[in-house]
Copies of this chain bind each other. A is one copy, B any other.
């Protein structure tokens, strides 16, 4: 069992007692385990390791909190009033499996659990909790976190950059900043790395939505076109979109701040980037 899965399981145990409502606790677990690629918490831990990871419990909690918030956003994003998605990660979405009411509550309870997880782990380093909560909260709330990103979908006109930075980029930026902060480093210089990786991930997501099969992706494809959402492949063409992704990965590498484990972190990011594209489009990492 990896460090991330262990941290997530420990968090979910906080939400479950003999007395807790069974459907809610089952749905919370269903929303989180088994997961996707865990790309955000893996990035968070890679940064913590690059910063010497002197409080591994806190870094694990930071990684878990970011994944819990990501999962919460997927549950609410799949709701009938938003994307009305019937499947997620190759099986029924939470509202299809547990009903709409439990899906709303699952998202709410996962958001709460993310903050609770951070606080529980910060007992040995309480001074780091103030900036950690700030980093994580900013990534998911208003004015420029995930909730803001989804809210831009409700406005008559979307500013594409703001929308994507809020909906996707913010949590990647939080992953790098929280990894550094959990390890006692200044978080400020770490946001840019996450933002660039987030932008690369967004373009990769756009590419997969166009060229993957539903079987490979575990969720419906062609959704951007069906829902009238912006997609870099529609805008740039497939070749330029792949080129843009490669440029972003390179600029992310260049944005790694000075730290003891910068080399290992570079290797981690290149390895992750090589998995972003569908096999038929992937080129070996530089």
A154-B20 contact, Cβ under 8 Å, with A25-B143, A115-B133, A134-B119 = no
Assembled-state Cα–Cα distance A20/B81 (Å): 21
User: Which one of A39-47, A97-105, A199-207, A215-223 is at the B interface?
Assistant: A97-105
Is A270 in the interface zone, CB < 8 Å from B?
A: no
**B127, A19: Cβ atoms closer than 8 Å:** no
A76-B102 contact, Cβ under 8 Å, with A115-B115, A115-B133 = no
Count of residues in A whose CB is under 8 Å from the partner chain? 58
A154-B101 contact, Cβ under 8 Å, with A15-B143, A19-B144, A148-B20 = yes
**A155, B108: Cβ atoms closer than 8 Å:** no
**B116, A147: Cβ atoms closer than 8 Å:** no
Complex contacts, A109 vs chain B, CB 8 Å: 141-142, 147-148
Partner of A151, one of B21, B153, B162: B21
A147-B108 contact, Cβ under 8 Å, with A102-B154, A134-B120 = yes
The winner among A17, A122, A123, A137 for most chain B CB atoms within 10 A is A137
**B143, A116: Cβ atoms closer than 8 Å:** no
Say how far A80's CB is from chain B's closest CB, in angstroms: 9
Is A130 in the interface zone, CB < 8 Å from B?
A: yes
A130-B134 contact, Cβ under 8 Å, with A15-B141, A21-B152, A143-B17 = no
A15-B142 contact, Cβ under 8 Å, with A21-B148, A21-B154, A153-B101 = yes
Assembled-state Cα–Cα distance A10/B230 (Å): 35
Is A38 in the interface zone, CB < 8 Å from B?
A: no
Assembled-state Cα–Cα distance A152/B167 (Å): 31
Assembled-state Cα–Cα distance A201/B130 (Å): 33
Is A233 in the interface zone, CB < 8 Å from B?
A: no
Is A3 in the interface zone, CB < 8 Å from B?
A: no
Complex contacts, A81 vs chain B, CB 8 Å: 100-101, 104
**A142, B28: Cβ atoms closer than 8 Å:** yes
Is A24 in the interface zone, CB < 8 Å from B?
A: yes
Assembled-state Cα–Cα distance A102/B81 (Å): 10
Complex contacts, A134 vs chain B, CB 8 Å: 116, 119-120
10 A-B Cβ contacts within 8 A?
A15-B142, A20-B142, A76-B108, A81-B100, A81-B104, A108-B141, A112-B147, A115-B137, A116-B133, A133-B133
Further pairs besides A17-B143, A24-B147: 8, Cβ < 8 Å: A19-B143, A19-B144, A21-B155, A109-B142, A112-B137, A113-B137, A119-B137, A133-B133
